[in-house]
Amino acid sequence: YYPATDGSSQRDHRAVDEAKNEESSKLTPSIGVSRRSSGVQLPPPPPRHRLPYQGSLSRVWPKRESLPCAVTNELRWWERVYTEYGLKTGILYTKIYKAASSTLSGIALQMSRNLRMRQPDHKLLVSKMCRFSPDRCVPPQGVEPMCAVRFDHSTPTARTHKYAMRNVNDTLLWTFVRNPTARAISAFFHLEVSRGKVEPKDQKFIDYLSVKENLGADLYLREMVYVAKERNGTTERLTELAFQSYDFVGVVERMHESLVVMKMLWGLEWADLLFLPSKTAGGWDDGVYDRASNTFEDPTKLDSCVYIVPSFLSPGMYSFFESSPTWQNKSDRDWLVYRVANASLDRTISSLGKDVVDLNVRKYKAALELAKDACASTTVWPCNSAGVRTPNRNDTDCLYWDSGCGYKCFETLDLSSIDQIR
């Protein structure tokens, strides 16, 4: 929470308490089950997806000798991420809803920025552009030279972003997937309950999941596959195409392992992978999904912060996810992708050496703890802990909206002690 000098601090705390109490009073009676402080207890996967994947669709992810860093000709890169042009070169992150997407967008941005900053001419690029185009030296979070990067939502992401146009050797294409049941629960509570103010009753939830194409289920192949002529292929064919097209598919539930494997495959540094979690339950969404009230030109035109209602699962919905044929059919393709992603991660870890990966996971967790201890309390987010919007988005410590927050603090960290861990 950021200190206030006008007496608003107490008002802000009362406001957040009232908001949380109001949400709690609405939610618990409508479902008839209390929330678990440790998170939602998930039912098992559908029967056919309960065993580890043993088929031929998984792969060992390849190493990259160098990473693509195409430099754009102008600094207003943030205005171009929502256009439908296709990047032929650069770092391409397929941003899948409610699969740690804001956090991973921040990592994509931080990777792109750090790669560019490690090149010897980055300061020359900034000074040259500021001299010829002074108005382009004040992007939302300061002058930040970036390698070309895609990191934004757009369903279906891969086709909308025209990934079919990319030069395979000059791009790095990656994404993460999540337990489909966990992702569906998160999508309903975040997109419908928190943002849409839908009352979280069982039938509302089931109706949401029953829509033919929404963000609740059957999403992974729609988001990942970018060859239009293949989109009506069999599930196995589409899954094979997706995994052969990507440089890496991580697993949200195995975030530390996945990011460590990325580091080892791509030659990244610990600083490239630091993050402070975005959009946590009980926190605040920056409201940028509703763009009607803001523009890129006026950083003071901002949406209201939205309280993120913690997810919970009623006995009825637990039973639905555990045994409903409707859910089993709806989620079947997502479960296959998820299992193949886990199998591919296992195979890659085995290839790299499990002991080596485990050691690097310990180092990575230590680096994240250092970042949290040093940066969590000082980082300026779009919405503070009381749900109050930072008046001007230029004043946040984020690379883009609520992604990549804390990067300024991360630059000051001394991570040399991490490599002493054994």
Confidence class of residue 301 from pLDDT cuts 50, 70 and 90?
A: low
Over its C-alpha atoms, the chain yields an Rg (Å, rounded) of: 22
Section 272-291 average pLDDT:
77
Question: Has residue 49 been placed in a domain?
Answer: no
Whether residue 67 has pLDDT greater than 50: yes
Cis peptide before 156 (omega within 30 of 0): yes
pLDDT category of residue 189 using cuts at 50, 70 and 90: very high
Residue 338 lies in a domain: yes
Which structural domain range is residue 347 located in?
A: 8-42+56-420
**pLDDT beyond 90 at 138:** no
The set of residues, in sequence order, having a beta carbon less than 8 Å from that of 58 and lying 6+ positions away, is 243, 340, 343, 344, 347
CB distance 275 to 103 below 8 Å: yes
Average pLDDT over residues 157-167: 82
Question: What would the mean pLDDT of 236-242 be, rounded to a whole number?
Answer: 95
Q: Is residue 373 part of a domain?
A: yes
Does a structural domain hold residue 2?
no
The pLDDT of 267-287, averaged and rounded, is: 86
Q: How sure is the predictor about 217, in pLDDT bands with cuts at 50, 70 and 90?
A: confident
pLDDT of residue 374: 97
Q: Name the token pair of 39.
A: 């998170």
Count of alpha carbons within 13 Å of 107, Cβ hemisphere only? 28
Total domains in the chain come to 1
Q: Report pTM.
A: 0.83
pLDDT single digits (tens) 362-419: 999 999 999 999 999 999 999 998 999 888 777 889 888 888 999 999 999 999 999 8
C-alpha span between 299 and 377 (Å, rounded):
24
Residue range 248-275, pLDDT digits in tens: 999 999 999 999 999 999 999 999 999 9
Indicate whether 48 belongs to any domain.
Answer: no
Exposure of 349 in the CB half-sphere (CA atoms within 13 A)? 21
d(CA 257, CA 252): 10
DSSP for residue 254: G
**Is residue 200 situated within a structural domain?**
yes
Mean pLDDT, rounded, for 101-130: 76
Nearest partner of 136 among 300, 302, 297, judged by Cα: 297
Residue 35 in domain = yes
Write down the mean pLDDT value for the chain.
81
- Model confidence at 99: pLDDT above 60: yes
Block residue for tokens 């589409």: 238
Give the mean model confidence (pLDDT) for residues 7-29.
38
- Say if 50 falls within a structural domain: no
CB–CB of 356/362 below 8 Å? Answer: no
Give residue 157's pLDDT: 72
